[in-house]
Amino acid sequence: MTKKKPGNPNFYKGMKPLAKSPGRPKGSVNKYTMLAREMMTERGPMIVEKIIDQALDGDVHCMKMCIDRILPVHKAVDPNKAKQQSQVVINVGASTEIQEKIANTDPKKIVNPKIKSDEEVIIEMSETNG
């Protein structure tokens, strides 16, 4: 008993195409993609400005969108740090809630992180890795 080969037996390697392949022509774009591209080229700057204005007015979702674009997640992680030390928590609550929490928190517990440039981070990582 011989094993049946997988695939359609009417097709073989190196076979010339019988006719035009069915479906969308190569290089054509979905209508939604085309609409999105048009909208972003014509109205993109206005949309971005509106999102930033809403974020500054306190819209939590727009704030998160801006932060996600400004501070993307970094993939490089120092294996020598404990898991709790490497986590960054961004609280996207209302600004009044944040001000109240700061006022009610012991000043000794508040941490003011030092902002480092990308070059400083790369140098430190290369020093710790060897």
Q: What is the pTM of this model?
A: 0.34
Scan for tokens 């960054």, then name that residue: 88
Residues 39-89: pLDDT tens digits?
888 888 888 899 899 999 988 898 888 888 887 776 655 566 655 555 555
pLDDT, mean over the chain: 75
Handedness of CA 103, 109, 114, 118 (dihedral sign): negative
Residue closest to 99 by CA, chosen among 108, 89, 110: 110
